[in-house]
Chain A
Amino acid sequence: MHPAFSVIFLTTLIGVGQGLFLALFTGQLYSLARLVPLQDSQTFYAWGSALALVFLALGLFASFFHLGRPERAWRSAARWRTSWLSREVIVLPLVMGLIALYGLAHWMEFTRPLFTVSNVLPVDLTLLLGLAATAATFLLFICTGMIYASIKFIREWATPLTLLNFIFMGGASGFALATFYSLFAAPSLIKMYGIWTIILTITAFVLRLVSLWRNAHGSHISTIQSAIGVRHPKIVQKTTGGMGGSFNTKEFRSGSTPERIRQAKWSFVLLVFVLPPLLLTTALSIHSAPLLALAFAVQMIGLIIERWTFFADATHPQNLYYQSM
């Protein structure tokens, strides 16, 4: 498939935003369990939520460049009963709204317990909003992943690994950003975030390796024989018709050589999964802010390459009809 930068930026940027919010709320749960010191609502949670919203908004902005008719984008919420794309269009603003309310509740310091569960768990407004936003965030990961995983004949996408990869890579990059952010806003959380970033990155690495292996092995169900219904082992396309190029010869091809795609795979393995844990471990041991920033930046660049490869590596059966010009 042709890797469109609008969709690459959409999926990577909202992944960071979602992951950062999950990191913030994890911090709140940890402090609720008294595993880490209590953080200031305004300086940590409210500003952190604003940072997550910036990434989500940038992703939303990028998505408009994918549309031929962006002025009609409002129509895309109509078919949520059947279309995962439509569901994503609804859930993304919902996530942004809930995170905004979560940040606002922290900014206004609505942290007085509304009620207490079994005399041990004080429940305040931020906890309730945080739980709702967490559910919405996971729903958004599912919607984004299912847009690709639900196309059953694009073999490289039609697997639960697509969803898991979106969740874990988004989570890893969000926690990496949270590690850097907590250096300024909540230094006592930095170690917790750093360790979670490494755990999420390694989990994502294993899952991505499985999907790389899966895509490299096994065969496609559709063949040129089933595409034109002629039973013969040797069929060679001589022409796609005397009409030159078309949408079909551009949209469904990576536009790159297999060699370039192979290089991209090695690059993102290094940039997303290998370097950031090494940089983080070093940064945490010597308390270096530039190294923490570098770990996040390196992973982000790697994720953009990863998403590019996700598209470039996917093969569409319509290409069987467009093999030779």
Chain B
Amino acid sequence: MTQLALVIDLNTCVGCSACVTSCKEWNTSGQAGPMTDMMPYGEDPHGTFFNRVQSFEVGTYPDTQMVHFPKSCLHCEEPPCVPVCPTGASYKRKEDGIVLVDYDKCIGCKYCSWACPYGAREIDEKQKVMKKCTLCVDRIYDQSLPESERQPACVLACPADARIFGDVHDPDSEVSILIREQGGYALMPEWGTRPANHYLPRRRQEMHIHPDELERADNPLAKEDLKIDEKDVTSVDGFGGW
């Protein structure tokens, strides 16, 4: 069994939204039709996105941290959005675990979006069908692309390498090792949805500086107790004398 998923490292994400724009660019240009924006230059712009970066301030000033939090469909292993769909338009692929919407079958009843606790589904105001992250299913199997580019657009775009794509069911894959060894966790585990996407936690970066590191214990100058008075040093050009 394969379960493709993303691992998102909150420790390295800088919140630049490059994943958001590259996702929109790739998926709005695909054969499934555009991801419609309503009044993009108007007062109240409104649009469809598969991926959004949100920012949360944790703690009280001055002891605060900004957590930039990219959110897209988590491709749950027990997706609550799939069984509620009355038409079968919403489905989970057996071969790779990607949760997809068949835009030709969707009737736009929005019930799947009610059944998703993560708000990962958005209706397209023009096509009137439900849309969501496809893990760039039209990229990752494309034999005409070089193998290194057969990854979701957001992963390729991330400048901080905070997004890693792979099979979370393969224990030796990069994503599985990261989840296992870096404390990868799932969102809202309380609903038993078993999200495939995992997040790596924020870790506070601290430097532990030992006095030894500031002053060499084995400094040969210290050993010889050699003291140099700066007044006695004459520079070559006599300029530093004063």
Q: Quick one: which of A73, A251, A319 contacts B113, CB cutoff 8 A? A: A251
B160 at the interface (CB under 8 A from A): no
Beyond A246-B48, A247-B122, whether A82 also contacts B117 by CB under 8 A is no
| Bound Cα distance A228, B48 (Å) | 22
A243 touches B56 (CB 8 A): no
| Bound Cα distance A86, B111 (Å) | 11
B87 touches A316 (CB 8 A): no
Residues of chain B at interface, number, CB under 8 A: 60
Q: Which residues of B contact A1 (CB under 8 A)?
A: 114
B123 to chain A, nearest CB (A): 5
Q: Which of A121-129, A147-155, A181-189 contacts B (4 or more CB under 8 A)?
A: A147-155
| Bound Cα distance A151, B111 (Å) | 10
| Bound Cα distance A145, B84 (Å) | 14
B87 touches A75 (CB 8 A): yes
Interface extent on A, as a size class?
35 or more
A83 touches B58 (CB 8 A): no
Q: Quick one: which of B48, B86, B116 contacts A78, CB cutoff 8 A? A: B86
Q: Quick one: which of A68, A224, A318 contacts B123, CB cutoff 8 A? A: A68
Q: Quick one: which of B20, B88, B191 contacts A153, CB cutoff 8 A? A: B191
Which chain B residue lies CB-closest to A86?
A: B86
Q: Which of A48-56, A204-212, A233-241, A266-274 contacts B (4 or more CB under 8 A)?
A: A233-241
A76 touches B54 (CB 8 A): no
| Bound Cα distance A238, B189 (Å) | 24
CB<8 Å pairs between A and B, sample of 22: A66-B110, A67-B108, A75-B107, A77-B86, A83-B111, A85-B86, A222-B188, A234-B60, A235-B67, A237-B55, A240-B52, A243-B52, A245-B44, A245-B45, A245-B46, A317-B188, A318-B116, A318-B117, A318-B119, A321-B71, A321-B118, A322-B119
* Chain A interface (Cβ < 8 Å from any Cβ of B): 1, 66-70, 72-73, 75-79, 82-86, 89, 147, 150-154, 221-222, 224, 226-230, 232, 234-248, 251-252, 316-319, 321-322
